[in-house]
Amino acid sequence: MAERLREAKSIEQEIAELRRELLEHDYRYYVLNQPIIADVEYDAMMRRLRELEAQRPDLVTPDSPTQRVSGQPAEGFEEYFHKRPMLSLDNSYSIADLRQWAERCEKLAGGRKFDYVAELKIDGLSISLIYENGLLVRGVTRGDGVRGEVVTQNVRTIRSVPLRIGEGRGSRGEKKGKQASLFDDEAISRQPKEIEVRGEVYLPKEVFEEINRERTEQSLPTFANPRNAAAGTMRQLDARIVAERRLDIFCYQLLFDGEAAFSTHYEALEWMKHAGFKVNPHSRLCATIDEVIAFCDQWAEGRDELNYEIDGVVVKVNQVAVQEKLGATAKSPRWAIAYKFPARQASTRLLEVIYQVGRTGAVTPVAVLEPVQLAGTTVARASLHNADEIERLGVMKGDWVFIEKSGEIIPQVVKVIPERRTGEETAIQFPTHCPVCQTSLVKPEGEAVTRCPNPDCPAKLKAWLLHFAARRAMRIEGLGEALVDQLISPRVKRDKKGKPVKDEHGQPVILPPLVRDVADLYHLAERRDELIALERMGEKSADNLLAQIEASKQAGLARLIYALGIRHVGERTAQILADHYTSLERLAAATSEELAAIYEIGEVVAAAIVDWFKQPRNRSLLKRLAEAGVSLEVERGGRQQVARVFEGKQFVLTGTLPNMKREEAKAFIEERGGRVTGSVSKKTDYVVAGQEAGSKLLRAQELGIQIIDEAQLLALGGSRS
């Protein structure tokens, strides 16, 4: 017995030592790029650890180096709502724009002094790493900024991502003393339960080239560029494939329990470095915007020297207090901006112009080009935007033109090369009638966009149906372009044998479309036989589609508002409207003034909403949706509308409340007209504090803001119904 205990203890010790050494070597190799042992030695240590863990599977832990790759492919990715939105950045494309942004920051800062942090803008995909008690528990993609996909197993394959914060760094000899511990820096007032590190996952250039060489040899399609390869890799369901791709990461943001961890952004970058995260070494603290501009100029010229793609520089206000004062819009922080490098151009011939009609009727001219390579992709089409842009460019069919990717994404024609004209070029005539339904086009006063006004235009209907059925809207799976084309098109009537039925004149009998608007989708069950008869349908496909349509009736008010396709109303605005009005009936009765007064709505959006509900066609549509059983209200369990006693008040929630979850408390406040924000400022009216309240409580005490508990919140707002 004693011998077995000694043996068990020896195995435990050896496993612990091997893990520590392997994590240390991972850090040196993948983060510092300073290996101190040969690959063969590393492989021998890993083999020994696997052998020992096979003997003692009870000792296997999630942060063991052997657990980076899961054994079985995942079945799919679950959604995860970010506790703090991963906002996108506003872009600037000139030094003048950058200076204007800095001037706005200085003005909004109200005299507060601040400096800047300039960081290379890595061309990859954003990811959130969530640690609980120091252990990596979740990796989440940015998604739409509010919710992403959980890709933890894939993230674990990235060797520069620590599985446990601070592990494997004991022998480095760096930053001993106060920085050697995770939580003992005097800037940290509490020990966070959750640490979130955000970063950009990317594929090194040399790995990208190697992958494409291998795919070419295997007669597989190659990836267009490193970013696409990285994005596609992160969505692989088999983590073993992800591991083979050798993704990497640079980390750029640190949150403790959902809040900024330090008083400056630069301190956060330094902390992450010392905690074992890979932070881009070229970040620079800049005292003035002139220093920022010099940094931008340096890397616009030097980006080709790097082993990864960058498409610009991210500039941030360094001081967190100033960041909070500057705030954010619904989409972007005001305290940060992305300076995008001038796009690389290519020249090619414009062969033809085609016209696309969107769901709002906007007619967009698209240039058909001789295919050309641009920034790692083959470009065969490019946007010409509108008729005014065609006139401004003076472009003709047959012209040689320069194209570039706007913001490195959307190809567009930017300049004509008149010196290469042969005299055979022909003028581009913008259509006067819709290319799909032949209705006379209109160009509203003050707008650059030409539109088809026909509400029955098939192109508009097709785009609307696809939008309505999209995952972010009503989630009707299987309603793709090919099926939509059949649903909105007239059909030849056929007999039971499939032969065309002819009228008295011997002509085929033409049946009207199955769908004329989105409400018709909810009557397809009544025409199941006709649905089954469509090309490539059959009974099983038809029944699956009908089940999806039936389920979409309970998609929720926010999704429905977004799916209706009201101009200027995106997902975020739809959610705000759903929370504020709780039913389409109340929203339809709202005035422009009332809507514009809602935070984040504004006059333009308000006018578009009121105009949409004024249309008899739209009112009829809503009636038909209701009759079909589509839910037009927020499900509240029969709750009555409550008085908006918190109108204009700002709340901050901190700690754990005794009875209410944070989401419930937030809903309680917002139902009554209040707004819940993530940080305490002078604009905060109440801080609702529960158990284990942290730095937000201390900040509220410093500013003299009223602090209340759950019982006081309920008393102020009235009892919950």
Q: Please list the active-site residues.
A: 121
- List the structure tokens of 242: 């992800």
Stretch (H or E) spanning 50: helix 39-55
On whether the CB atoms of residues 687 and 695 are closer than 8 A, the answer is no
Q: Which residue type, as a one-letter code, is found at position 504?
A: E
On whether the CB atoms of residues 561 and 553 are closer than 8 A, the answer is no
Q: How far apart are the first and last CA of the chain?
A: 64
Q: How many CB atoms lie within 10 A of CB 198?
A: 19
On whether the CB atoms of residues 277 and 250 are closer than 8 A, the answer is no
On whether the CB atoms of residues 193 and 132 are closer than 8 A, the answer is yes
- The residue behind tokens 């300039």 is 118
Pick from 324, 378, 259, 279: which is nearest to 653 by CA? 259
What is the rounded distance in angstroms from the CA atom of residue 600 to the CA atom of residue 612?
Answer: 19
What is the rounded distance in angstroms from the CA atom of residue 85 to the CA atom of residue 678?
Answer: 10
What is the rounded distance in angstroms from the CA atom of residue 124 to the CA atom of residue 160?
Answer: 15
- Give the helix, strand, coil percentages of the chain, each rounded to 5: 40, 20, 40
Give strand pairing partners of 687.
652, 707
On whether the CB atoms of residues 398 and 417 are closer than 8 A, the answer is no
Cα 191 versus chain centre, distance:
30
* DSSP letter for each residue of 551-600: HGGGS-HHHHHHHTT-TT--HHHHHHHHHHHSBHHHHHT--HHHHHTSTT
What is the rounded distance in angstroms from the CA atom of residue 682 to the CA atom of residue 706?
Answer: 11
Q: How many CB atoms lie within 10 A of CB 394?
A: 12
* DSSP letter for each residue of 446-501: T-S--B---TT-HHHHHHHHHHHHSTTTT--TT--HHHHHHHTS-EE-B-TTSPBP
